[in-house]
Structure 1
Amino acid sequence: MNRAVALRIAACGIMGLGAALLIAALLLSTYTKSNISKIPLDIDHTVVSDGSGTAFDPASLNEQNFVVNEDVPLVMQEQVTVESPANADVVTLQVGSTLRRSDKQQENGLLLAMVDTVTLDRETAMAVSSESNPGGAVQKPRAIENEEPPTNIALPHEGLSYRFPFDTEKKTYPYFDPIAQKAFDANYDGEEDVNGLTTYKFTQNVGFDGDGELVDPIPYASLYDDEADSRATAPARLWGIEAEDPEEPITMTRYYAAQRTFWVDPVSGTIVKQTDRGYHYYAREALEPEVTFVDYSVTTNEESIESQVSAARDERDRVALWGRILPITFTALGLIALVGGALLGAFSLRAESMLIDPGLDDAGRRFFGHRDDEGEPVPGAEAKTEKLPAQRPSDLPPDRPG
């Protein structure tokens, strides 16, 4: 195999590599990116929020009247894990959330507890349901000392839950409230920086208006068969209500309202920060609260914010690597390879023509060696002529005029 043929083969190989790189760039920017822009299947984190509020003292159930304390320290904890079904299309999140008074010990400080399960579409982050999977459930409350397996109550979800979609848009999304058991609008409210990360801010009102005034509180949806946690009957003295007969039984309904603000990473849909205001109270008329169970405001603490920002950045980096960096790199390398292969191919053809007929390139533009004038025919116009000696006037014969 001569050098020209070897160069031609190398040129074809380089051009083929360039074409392959361009195809890979196209696939990465379309098919691969769409398959990695999904909710991860390995979610396992705990978010802690701190704050304060007005709260009922569970120990007062055994006293003469209910005791409600003001300005007590409160902690909300939300633990998120992945359960089955979880596959290429859907992911099921199980979220255990609690709200407790940090100035009380164990069950004496527990105010709210819920285990919520929801199945989400991994691309849209919207709740999905099927015949075999209702799309969500809540765990039936049970006593702390109860060691029996928990019982789930089917609760179909709708809208978003615990996450926003990849490539979050500046618009209104339906966001599910498991206490109210339906979705409410989460409205876009601008951009804000959270620990160096640009986020979209969304606000949601459940039973409140934009100014935090009660307008349409939600009757608390009981998880007990006897609705023990949604309606309560107690003597007037326990409610703190003045009556002719302190032992007169009075029945009140539990109502609920909430306000939330989410700071969302628009690339991954991760909620990196959140504030919650929840209001649970008992009343005989919905808009006339009489006994507060808990009225709290909590915000994600700094440690949890850092953890969520880190998780969001990891998702961003993964999407950027497969959706932008590698496609751009492969495109640049592919174009270089195509141009380089084309030039090398042209060079190989020239070299092959030189080997077949060296006279085709006698104009001094050869690839190998330089022009050698020796042994080449010289045109007649350039032939050397012999110089003849000129005669001087003194050498002429005397009879010949000068």
Structure 2
Amino acid sequence: MRRTASPVSLILLGLGTFLLVLAPLLAWYVKPRAAVNPIDIDTTAVYTGTGSVFDVDKVDTVAGQKITVTQRVRGNVADSERSGKAVWDVTTTVDTDKSLPAADPHDALEFMPGRWVTDRKTNRPAHCCREKPYFEGDAYLKFPFDVRKHAYRWWDNSLGATVTLTYSGVKKIQGYEGYRFTGTVPATRTGTRLVPGALVGRPKSSQVLAEEWYANHGIELVADQRTGRVLYAQVGPRKTLRAPGAKKDAVVLLDSRKIAFTAATQKDQVEQAKKESGQLRMVGRTLPIGAGVAGFVLAVVGAVLVVRGRSHPDTSESSPPPPTI
């Protein structure tokens, strides 16, 4: 009797081997290429809060104003494809009820255009493609992929520098858990502005080069661990003017203890994070584990069947000749 491998056993062995090879490829090759900043992003985040705002018509600071910050992020696909980086054009407007709805974003209380260019894998600044402003740090519009439980340098556009945000535990946003990071900004001089002298307590001077100062009562960001998407953002900006060399603020331009994502923005960010995180989890964990387990089982079964084979009776050519008398 002799044994031969059946086609089924060979198929099972081959399929099992293929899945065993596929499993690490999904985890080590496919996932890193899926975890990249998109180039076709188009999203809007809205923050609201209350605080004091300088009214140019009244030439005075008015308290108890509703403040709305709108941040629009759109990917420049053409520049991204040419550079290999994620090129995002960002416009940020600050409004009160008096300036809303604005037909033109330039009519807002404050209008800040910019361009954020990052390495698609690391989220680090790329410094190309007409980036504006020049920025540094680990995070701004989002955190890097696979967020860790340690401090990150977050770019504060109003400060024009990075702020160290410390890890402060986990927090649920709309029922979805993320990593919480917090920090503050002490009063810091950020620039100068030409204003009437009377505005900053110098009535004898028609105009003075007033000092611009900025502080932040508290920054709180909650990020999705797997994707780095910001689920919740809260800031407490304070912008003031001082007379040249003065130690105290002369005019408050903007002061709010809390301006935060609206419920609608939180919901949208959480939904996007769930979707993106699920996709990364599938290619980075679910499929590799499933492929590895299935491949091992199929390979073992196939190998056993190959070893056992199918029995075949010996042919006449292979049978020993009959004894002769």
TM-score normalised per structure 1 = 0.70
Equivalences for residues 163-178 of structure 1 within 5 A: 163-178=142-157
Taking structure 1 as reference, are residues 305 and 287 closer, same or farther at Cα in structure 2, changes over 3 Å only?
farther
What's 2:183 paired with?
A: 204
After superposition, give the CA deviation of every residue in 1:149-176 in whole Å (9 maximum; x if it has no partner): xxxxxx3221122110110111112222
Residue in 1 aligned with 2:214?
Answer: 256
State the match for 1:371 in structure 2. none
The 5-angstrom pairing of residues 107-186 of structure 1 reads: 110-130=108-128, 133=129, 136-137=131-132, 155-159=133-137, 160-186=139-165
**Alignment-derived partner of residue 7 in structure 2:** 9
Structure 1, gaps ≥5 residues long: 61-65, 138-154, 209-213, 221-229, 358-402
Runs of 4+ in 1 over 4 A off after TM superposition: none
Partner Cα separation in structure 2 for residue 248 and residue 323 of structure 1: 65
Contact preservation (8 Å) 2:240, 2:252 = yes
Q: Give the % identical residues.
A: 23
Displacement, 1:248? Answer: 4.2
- Indicate if the aligned counterparts of 1:95 and 1:115 stay in contact, CA closer than 8 A: yes
Amino acid at match of 2:241: Y
Alpha-carbon spacing, 1:24–1:129, altered in 2? closer, same or farther (3 Å): same
Alignment partner, residue 318 of structure 2: none
Within the candidate set 222, 240, 246, 1:281 is matched to 240
Task: Look up the match of 1:187.
Answer: 166
- The secondary structure found in structure 2 opposite 1:163 is coil
What is the number of residues matched between the two proteins?
304
By relative contact order (CA 8 Å, sep 6+), the higher-ranking structure is 2
Matched-pair contact (CA < 8 Å) for 1:73–1:102: yes
- What CA deviation, in whole Å up to 9, does each residue of 1:258-314 have, x standing for no partner? 242111111100001101111111112464111111112311000000000011111
Quick check: 335-344 or 293-302, which moved more? 335-344
2:18 to 17, 20, 42: 20
Q: Which residue of the partner structure matches residue 102 of structure 1?
A: 97
Counterpart contact for 1:128–1:158, Cα < 8 Å: no
> Structure 1: how far apart are the matches of 2:80 and 2:246?
41
Q: Say which SS state the counterpart of residue 73 (structure 2) adopts.
A: strand
CA distance in 2, matches of 1:115, 1:346: 70
Give the residue type in structure 2 aligned to 1:299.
A
Q: 1:70-85 to 2 correspondence within 5 Å?
A: 70-83=63-76, 84-85=78-79
Look up the SS of the partner of 2:279 in the other structure: helix
| Structure 2 counterpart SS, 1:80 | strand
Change (3 A) 1:58 1:110: farther
Q: Select the residue among 305, 310, 323 that pairs with 2:266.
A: 305
Judging by fraction of residues, say which structure has more strand: 2
Amino acid at match of 1:340: V
* Aligned alpha-carbon RMSD (Å): 2.4
Say whether 1:231 aligns with 2:190: no
CA offsets 1:312-339 (integer angstroms, 9 cap, x no match): 1111111011111111111121112112
Whole-angstrom CA distance in 2 between matches of 1:75 and 1:123: 32
Aligned partner of 1:315: which letter? E
Whether 2:80 is the aligned partner of 1:86: answer yes
- Pair 4,286 (structure 1): closer, same or farther in 2 beyond 3 Å: farther
Q: Which residue of 2 aligns with 1:344?
A: 305
Distance 1:202 1:40, change over 3 A: same
Q: Which one-letter code corresponds to 1:249 in the other structure?
A: S
- Answer whether contact 1:177 1:183 (CA < 8 A) is retained: yes
Aligned mates of 1:286, 1:344 — CA distance in 2: 88
DSSP-derived class of the 1:306 partner: helix
What's the offset of the Cα at 1:41?
A: 2.5
Q: Is the 8 A contact 1:167 1:266 kept in 2?
A: yes
Rg larger in structure:
1
Q: In 1, distance between residues paired with 2:39 and 2:219? A: 26
Distance, in Å, in 2 between the alignment partners of 1:328 and 1:250 is 70
Give CA-to-partner distance per residue, 1:198-249, whole Å, 9 cap, x none.
111112333x2xxxxx4xx1323xxxxxxxxx3223142xx274x7xx5643
Residue equivalent to 2:44: 46
Query: After superposition, where does 1:287-298 map in structure 2 within 5 Å?
Result: 287-296=247-256, 297-298=258-259
- CA pair 104-119 structure 1, distance change in 2 beyond 3 A: closer
**Structure 1 residues 85 and 109: CA distance shift in structure 2, 3 A:** closer
Task: Flag structure 2 segments of 5+ consecutive residues without an equivalent.
Answer: 316-325
| Contact 2:39-2:88 at 8 Å conserved across structures | no
Instruction: Tell me if structure 2 keeps the 8 A contact 1:55–1:294.
Output: yes
